[in-house]
Structure 1
Amino acid sequence: MKKVFVSLCMASALMGLSSCASTKNAATLSSISGEWNIIEVNGTAVVPAPGQEFPYIGFDTKTGKVFGNSGCNRMMGSFDVNAKPGSIDLGSLASTRMACPDMTVENNVLSALNKVKKYKKLGKENIALCGASNRPIVVLQKKESVSKVSDLEGKWIISEAAGEAIPDGMEKQPFIEFNVAEKRLHGNAGCNLINGAFQVDDEGSSVISFPQVISTMMACPDMEVEDRVLKALNSVRSFGKLTGGGVGLYDADNNLVMVLVKN
């Protein structure tokens, strides 16, 4: 009987340490800043469906903005930066409505995030997001990002612009090719050629913009894709590596506005 009692006590202690109710490994607001891969939901490892991006979430702890990708669609929202340390409510997240062949990961991620009320450190590198019961329901791992402008060198296919996938089989597939040494680019927006320069802060910065991009003026039967591409390019303010492969271009609010995949 004593052994059973001791075992139960040990189990309770371990559960307490992994719980958001525990003061051990408490996290400050600044510790969740940045982008995080969603690697576990409700105790199950996240495995993206073939062709889908690995889900991630980002927190801007200065403005209270939330952004990311739930596995298929972009998600966005806000949280209270003045809340008690360790407390966060993600119940008001919104997302785009693009349909993907398999929405299982996305549905699980969004359902879990909707229940998040607290956060804490989990080990040295991860963050646990907990529900009202204080049990971890989402585990986050710091997302790797592109740290060098030189990583952009070469030709990239534009696979998504302004939250919508670029249709397959276009006569002129939108693309961008970067010449990092000269800080110039050229490509095709879907109908017309684009050329110009891009601006960056320095080699180790993720800040980038395209203030001097121009295009030819040929008229095509359908300009919808081109309009989306040019509008997205005009809004870009930063870039980062996507876990599922490729590079994401983000606007001033950290919304993903364009996805590039290596040609």
Structure 2
Amino acid sequence: MTNKYLKYMLLTLPLGVMVSLSSCSTIQEILGGDGTENAGEAGKSGKQGKGKKHSRRDVLPQDRQQFIIDKAAKTYTPDELGRGIIKGDWAIEQVGNTSTENCEEMPYLKFDITLHRVYGNNGCNYISGDYEYAPADSTIRFTNFLSTMRECPEVGITDAEINAALDAVCRYSWELRDDSRYYLYLENEHRQVLLTLMHQNFDFLNGTWLVKAIDDQAVNIPDLRFVIDVAENKIHGNTGCNTLNGKLVSEMDAPNSISFQALTITDRVCPDMEFENDLIVALEDAATAKPISADKVLLINNHGTVVLELERVKDQ
């Protein structure tokens, strides 16, 4: 593809198509047609994705959890961070020194270490591509990026700014804060930080939890407990009467941001069901998990109100 043809595409394609021209990362293919059907064949110059076909699913993840194939990718350890491993879900918190909080949608990147694929959102459009990195010299590069073609507002941090930042990334560094928040800094060739990413570590939620309070009301029901499995993204427990099942979903918009979804319970009728409905409402209302200690966690709603106080049930 000639530079002249690339220049023509830049001038004629709708806003939202990602085209990379820098020395750090070069696009291999873009969406064909109006962006609603299959994408074209990936270019043949990149090592990753050579000869692959990219489908709309590659670009438009309706559920970002579907791309985590290796369960181990859902957890991240300080050891892996220290060895420079890049995997899992990362929220894009800053572009340069500017916060992304005013983006239309929260931008994020999801790294699939097994397939060497990266998926995400640039604040407006869904993007996907390949990535290669080398911990030995802290280098990283993105190739074969595709993007949806939604028209985006030009307010706050724009999708074009995030695209340009990703295009210029050549190096990376990392940092661990508060023993639970991992930060990844994507840098240009001069080691200037272009993107600041945060990874959520929810390992502190793993285990069996006894409900001690709902909406600040003390609870003393030994059977009112549930198990959270972070790797499986599941919650399973007992309401004091019925069996509870649901999904744990980690969100990108704030540290320790979560939600419990698809909650279902059995339909038994018991003499004492005082807290069952309150528990379900509190779980659905929870937006943040805050560890107070190794054995105590608070679930907090979007208004900063504690909706559930949990105490770890230790192995007997």
TM-score by length of structure 2 reads: 0.37
Which has the bigger relative contact order, CA under 8 A and spacing at least 6? 1
